[in-house]
Amino acid sequence: MGRMDPKASPGSMNSPGGDQVASCSIRQVRVRIDDREGFLKKVNDIAARTGTHVILFDAERMAGKSHARSALCHAFRSLENGTMISSRVEMEALLYAAGSRQIVEAVRFGIHEGENRLYLCLCPESDDAWNELSTLFAPADDEDWETLDPGKAALLCELFSITPQELEVCGVGRLPDLVRERVALLEVYR
């Protein structure tokens, strides 16, 4: 696999959780996973060694990078406020991405066996972590993952219970906004 350049278009985001000083970077990557648990162990070992959180979102279920950023912001805010549902900020971010309090739902927004298109997030940014992770992932930042084709739009509507009436009123171009609204509503439903 190609190496990821730690300085190339990371999609940085400062202050993911209000006053938190950390910064997060989001990259698009591809990977084939044959052993989910073994792969997660490798990623978690890198995170522990480099002192960062590595959060992986399944791009097929995400309404673009803004959806990933929103989930990260809410997760880190929950961490800061001591209101997390889960015991790890990585799972908290997946819960927010799914807009659900159910871990079984959240896990579907992470990695799976087979081919994966992922938003790989580092919180805080770490060149050491990027360098180690680059041996596992192929960069895909040059691909357009922001455009929602009709199939993906239908999947997002199903996943987030967005009705045809809502979509008609707002327009398909506002679908990412409706998804981020569902993410934010998880805070209200605690």
| CATH number of the structural domain spanning residue 149 | 3.30.2380.10
Question: Which residue, 137, 125, 167, 5, is CA-closest to 59?
Answer: 137
76-102 residue pLDDT tens: 999 999 999 999 999 999 999 999 999
In a domain, 153, yes or no: yes
Question: Which residue, 113, 107, 100, is CA-closest to 39?
Answer: 113
Give the torsion through C-alpha atoms of 112, 175, 153, 114, to 10 deg.
Answer: -10
In a domain, 19, yes or no: yes
In a domain, 60, yes or no: yes
What's the whole-model pTM score?
0.87
In a domain, 119, yes or no: yes
Q: Which domain does 81 fall in, by range?
A: 13-188
39-76 residue pLDDT tens: 999 999 999 999 999 999 999 999 999 999 999 999 99
128-174 residue pLDDT tens: 999 999 999 999 999 999 999 999 999 999 999 999 999 889 888 89
In a domain, 107, yes or no: yes
Our count of domains for the chain comes to: 1
Q: Which residues of 98-108 are buried (b: 16+ CB within 10 A; e: fewer)?
A: bbbeeeeebbb
In a domain, 110, yes or no: yes
